[in-house]
Amino acid sequence: MRGLRVKGSEGPRASKSAALEPSTINHQPSTALEAVNLRVHAGTFPAVRGVNARFDVGTFSAVIGPNGAGKSTLLRALLGLNKPQSGEVCLFGRPLQSWSRPERSRALAYLAQTEGLSDATKVRDVVALGRGAGDWRFGLLPTRPWTDDDDAAVDSALDRTDTRRFEARKVAELSGGERQRVALARALAGQPRFLLLDEPTNHLDLAYALEVIRYLRCEVAGGLGVVAVLHDLNLAARADWLLLLHQGEVLAAGPPAEVLTPENLLASYGVRARVVRDADRLLVIPED
Amino acid sequence: MRSDAQQPEALTSAAPGEKSRWVWPRTFLLLLLLLSAIVFGTGLGSVNIAPGDVLGALWRGLASQFTGAELVSNDVIVWQIRLPRVVMGVLVGASLSVCGGAFQGVFRNPLADPYLLGVASGSALGATLAIVLDWPHALIPVSALVVALLSVAVTLSLAREGRRFPPTRLILAGVVVGSVLSAATTALILRGEDRARQVLAYTLGDLGFSGWRDVLTVLPYAALGCGVLLLLARALDTLQLGDLTARSLGVPVERLRLIVVIAASVATAGAVAYVGIIGFIGLIVPHMVRLAFGASHRILLPLSALLGGALLVYADLLARTSPLSQVGIVTTLLGGPFFLWLLRREKEI
């Protein structure tokens, strides 16, 4: 395998993220995906209530918080799939509303908890679907033919997720961990600037979950901005930047060491926990 | 192209080409099956005509359209009586199969077919209405289409849960709407007694009344409906990833659903208008193609059209030459058990 994974999973990167002052909206060019005073309803329920956050390219950000804190709703709003009640999402300093659908879908990729992959489809064909981002006439008809560039991008995505070996196999023959890597390859094939993931490791065994995080780390080193909703705090502790949501509001944002504190965890999850440092890593240990 | 030098362990390099390597032979195989269906369908019957003579008769019939030459003896049987019936079978089989495949894809529900959503029973009611009221011939598909669209709208609004159409609700709503519509159709049949025989045969699915006039009326419906569905194949593939993922890739999912339902209703209304309810073709053929050739809609939809067309002609041949008498009876008698076998074999479908 041509390893692109060499740069490894660790190495704390200087975080470029910073909490945004809520007062001003200045549309300066930036390298970030930002939420500005964002309020979003899920149905009629105000799930996100005035969130300010900034996610940079080349940074692994994780969104954490208890169930119902508004994590998934925030993620969908960042993707432009949920319309905000007020406030806005800015991508590279431009309001997301002003991006055309093709531009937006090329820049922002989404990976669900479980991607609906039809069993009879071949792995390579699934990954190739990621190349269609934005190239639709009326949103429905492909506007351009398949090119060698597309093949190259699919190859690269397969290599980077180590799925090239079984590119000709059908999805039905894959394990859960392999499926998630195929889904990741699909998301990467479109060469997005940001990848937003909704609980990508939720149903995976620990080894596979770590694997997904490791692949994401490599992409971040290559300049991709990752925003992942994560349930497992010990996985989230490996991110560069954390956003802790509580009842639709930001309770804390910053590097893991600043966010994962016993006080924050008690305030958001209602759980007493110790946070210990082991080697370079934070560990959250709930107390009974 | 991808070079093998890039990937020295060239074990996998056959894979990307696999699609292109296998699609054409398989398409060719299905084309042969369709051609054989046409030849046998036009050759066999009360008078048996050898395949060579059938091809000759087809050629002379085609030529006579331009030269105006009189057709004689067997040529008349082939060209005027059997061929329109066979061509109608191809059109109907292809339409129902493409619609079934598109419905299964757009609702991500392997049990979806034109009948389950009430499109076909709506078309049947509309067509029966037109027949009983003795409306002009060309208005039969129009009436079928209008009632079909109304009934599918009712089904979808009953099944709707927010923005989603959960499979169980969809099936329940479809069954209920279908039953109500069938009851209404039966009531109409009983009122229009003098036309009861025609209408009853119609509800059991019959290609027997098909003439060139019917074929030419149905053709635009089939071509338009299936054509639109075939164009949407890649969008349908993308939709298989899930609604949110498809939207993140720039596919407007709600618009796609609406257009698929309308296009499928157009094709189904055309298919049902003159030949009635022919069961199971639209449900089974896409599954057979999926099992044999893969699930990508760019392969699934066109190959379903070929296989569906061929199978319906063969089913009609069996109906004509056996006591089963009507093609709708044949497809249901054979299709039902086959579908159960498929269900048991593929727990996933």
Tokens matching residue A8: 């490894």
Q: Helix, strand or coil for residue B205?
A: coil
Q: Are A129 and B295 in contact (CB < 8 Å)?
A: no
Judging contacts by C-beta atoms under 8 Å, the chain A residues touching residue B242 are 112, 115-116
Amino acid at A242: L
pLDDT of res. A18: 41
Torsion-angle region of residue A81: left (phi > 0), alpha (psi -120 to 50) or beta?
Answer: alpha
Q: Residue B216 in contact with residue B160, Cβ under 8 Å?
A: no
Measured CA to CA, the distance from residue B106 to residue B260 in angstroms comes to: 7
Measured CA to CA, the distance from residue A141 to residue B110 in angstroms comes to: 24
Q: Residue B286 in contact with residue B97, Cβ under 8 Å?
A: yes
Whether chain B has a CB inside 8 Å of the CB on A185: the answer is no
Q: Residue B251 in contact with residue B239, Cβ under 8 Å?
A: yes
User: Residues A214-251: pLDDT tens digits?
Assistant: 999 999 998 899 999 998 888 888 889 999 998 888 88
Q: Residue A260 in contact with residue A254, Cβ under 8 Å?
A: no
Instruction: Classify each residue of B224-250 as buried b or exposed e, where b means 16 or more C-beta atoms within 10 Å of its C-beta.
Output: ebbebbbbbbbbbbbbbbbbbbbbbbb
Mean pLDDT of chain A, nearest integer: 81
State how far the alpha carbon of B81 is from the alpha carbons of B42, B43, B73, B107, B329, in Å.
9, 11, 12, 39, 21
With a cut of 70, which residues of chain B have pLDDT below it?
Answer: 1-23, 163-164, 167, 192-203, 346-349
Judging contacts by C-beta atoms under 8 Å, the chain B residues touching residue A124 are 15-16
The total of other beta-carbon atoms located within 10 Å of residue A211's CB is 20
Within 13 A of B139's CA, how many CA atoms are on the CB side? 9
- pTM, rounded to two decimals: 0.82
pLDDT band at A206 (very low <50, low <70, confident <90, very high): confident
Q: Give, in degrees to the nearest 5, the angle at Cα B34 between B33 and B37.
A: 90
Q: Is the pLDDT of residue A54 over 70?
A: yes
Q: Are A142 and B1 in contact (CB < 8 Å)?
A: no
Q: Say which of A76, A129, A172 has its CB closest to residue B238.
A: A129
Nearest CA in chain B to A142: B234
Tokens matching residue B64: 């006579």
Residues A156-170 have a mean pLDDT of: 88
Measured CA to CA, the distance from residue B251 to residue A136 in angstroms comes to: 7
Torsion sign across C-alpha atoms B224, B225, B230, B236: positive
Measured CA to CA, the distance from residue A207 to residue A184 in angstroms comes to: 16
Nearest CA in chain B to A191: B249
Q: Are A190 and B18 in contact (CB < 8 Å)?
A: no
Give the DSSP per-residue string, A60-81. Answer: EEEEE-STTSSHHHHHHHHHTS
Give the minimum alpha-carbon distance from B97 to chain A in angstroms, rounded to a whole number.
18
Please name the residue that has the structure tokens 């709506």. Answer: B122
Give the minimum alpha-carbon distance from A43 to chain B in angstroms, rounded to a whole number.
9
Cα maximum dimension of chain B:
76
Q: Say which of B251, B291, B296 has its CB closest to residue A121.
A: B296
Measured CA to CA, the distance from residue A184 to residue B105 in angstroms comes to: 22
pLDDT band at A196 (very low <50, low <70, confident <90, very high): very high
Whether chain B has a CB inside 8 Å of the CB on A254: the answer is no
Q: Residue B314 in contact with residue B285, Cβ under 8 Å?
A: no
| B161 DSSP 8-state letter | B
pLDDT of res. A2: 38
Q: Residue B300 in contact with residue B289, Cβ under 8 Å?
A: yes
User: Residues A102-161: pLDDT tens digits?
Assistant: 888 888 999 988 777 777 788 888 888 888 765 666 556 766 777 788 888 888 889 888
| A84 DSSP 8-state letter | -
Percent of chain B exceeding pLDDT 90 equals 15
The total of other beta-carbon atoms located within 10 Å of residue B255's CB is 13
Tokens matching residue B169: 């609700």
Q: Are B250 and A104 in contact (CB < 8 Å)?
A: yes
Whether chain B has a CB inside 8 Å of the CB on A49: the answer is no
pLDDT of res. A229: 93
User: Residues B315-325: pLDDT tens digits?
Assistant: 988 888 887 77
